[in-house]
Amino acid sequence: MVAESICTLMITAYGDIDLAVEAMRLGAADFIQKTRVNIQEIRKSIRNVLEKAGLERKQIKGYSF
């Protein structure tokens, strides 16, 4: 189990349904297959994780998502 204070995005080139389910079960916030990943998708995933955690952009200095 990943610590609750750590948000984990799983990005892999070898993704399948079983791996995605296992990653999410173990605490990954999102699962992205490397073959279809793009920067907009990563930013969207990060925004979603931050919103779920109740964080605002202004709390993360130097980063814009």
pLDDT at residue 62, rounded to an integer: 61
What are 8-23's pLDDT values in tens digits? 888 888 878 898 899 8
Q: Is pTM beyond 0.75 here? A: no
8, 12, 53, 58 from 65: Cα distances, Å: 16, 21, 15, 11
- Res 35 pLDDT > 80: no
pLDDT number for residue 33:
85
Give percent of the chain with pLDDT exceeding 90.
3
Q: Do residues 36 and 51 lie in contact, with contact meaning Cβ atoms separated by under 8 Å?
A: no
